[in-house]
Amino acid sequence: MLQGNGALITSRTQDTVQLEIRKIAVRDLSKARDGDAPADLFTTNLLDVVNDPAVDVVVELIGGTDAAYDLVEAALKAGKPVVTGNKALLAERGGPLFALSKEHNAPIHFEAAVAGGIPIIKAVQESLVGNRIESIAGIINGTSNYILQRMTEAGLGYPEALKEAKELGYAEADETLDVNGWDAAHKAILLASLAHGFVIDPEKVYVRGIEKVTPLDIRFASELGYVVKLLSLVHKCQNGDIEIRTQPSFLSKKHILASVHGVFNAVAVKGDHLGESLFYGRGAGQGPTASSVVSDLVEAARNSRADRGFLPYKESGPLREIDESKTSYYVRFSVNDQPGVIAEIASILAQHKIGISGTHSPVDADNPDAEFLEMVFLLHTCPFGQLKLALQEVEKLACITARPVVFRIENL
């Protein structure tokens, strides 16, 4: 990208920015690579990049949280700005790095860490600087989004959809962070820190992945007017608490995020003066990532030390406990087909002051006299902890044959 568009960048910055690669650290010197960088630029020693006096800005794109941390730490201590696409590093170990950034007046730029080529970091940090951010809702993991779409459209099971995603290159050989929700959660943590000014402890963030989503629940969702999406949510509650969670949820087919397909990402941001705004585009891939990295490189070169990137402006903030979070719910029960089942379940829910907005139990046309069936309850809004207590009692009923399946119904 720098080779092809370097002259354009220089022209657009009125000759104030000229980017030249001075050193490239890699694990394997013999690996074939796109581009034709001279061999003498390459090294296998990460610290050569930091220690070279000709290097003004350090770019970290190696992933992980150990070697990457050592590299970024060394760069900041040397007073060199850092550009990174490493969401796990900043979400899990960002606290000390942002402190070093402040101490050494060396900014950290990380546009590529969230939603690939979508300029969501700059939008939240700069364009919306005059707004109080009321909510952020996003589909920010393309792998999970593709898998759920294939399960919805083709009726594939999770293993089959994952296999297809790997064959197409949409999922890594080790897909764990994509499907267990943590890739999206890391991004949500960074967005929450930007919006609300303090470093978030990942251990206090509620995260669930898509591994246990079944075609049955996707079919029920569709019949009820919803789609299943892995949603990341950051919400400022009325009492000032910040609610952060990532999990597969029911989303109305009418909501604009329901139309985000394949490996695309989208983030809806609501500001107190702006209202709602939607950012949509490719959330991963070499081109979109390079676009964000080069944008940050130009920013670092243009502003030098005057711009410190993101710095927390609060020591801490109140995070809402997941048990206090409130939504309406879809709950699926596997039950024995016997008289009084609905009444037994409804009685326990009523004892816990949880209202029922509807029930759904489709008959299997091929087996109308089945001994076991699936029964869906749509529940009114209540605290998650209240629902958990009720379901613990429901599970003890003789008519229940499996642990209840729960999805939040998000009314964004």
- Separation of alpha carbons 187 and 202, rounded Å: 11
Query: Which is nearest to 197 in space by CA: 170, 149, 234, 247?
Result: 234
Strand duo 108-109 + 82-84: pairing: parallel
Q: Which amino acid is at 87?
A: K
* 124 burial type by CB count under 10 A (0-12 exposed, 13-18 middle, 19+ buried): buried
CA distance 274 to 255: 19
Which residue is catalytic, options 187, 229, 236, 270? 187
Rounded to 10 degrees, what is the CA torsion of 140, 64, 77, 125?
0
Place of tokens 């029960």: 333
Other Cβ atoms closer than 10 A to 317: 17
Structure tokens at 170: 């949409």
3-state secondary structure of 154: coil
Distance, in Å, from the CA atom of 205 to the CA atom of 240, rounded to the nearest integer, reads 17
Query: CA 161 → CA 147, 219, 223, 229, 266, distances in Å?
Result: 5, 15, 21, 15, 21
Pairing of strands 133-139, 264-271: antiparallel
| Residue 187 is among the residues annotated as catalytic for this protein | yes
- Element spanning 324, H or E: none
Distance CA(371)–CA(37), nearest Å, equals: 68
In this structure, the number of other CB atoms found within 10 A of the CB of residue 225 comes to 10
Q: Is 29 in contact with 44 (CB distance < 8 Å)? A: yes
Count the alpha carbons within 13 Å of 44 in the hemisphere toward its beta carbon: 5
Q: Are 193 and 259 in contact (CB under 8 A)?
A: no
Cβ-contact 283, 298 below 8 angstroms = no
Catalytic amino acids? 187
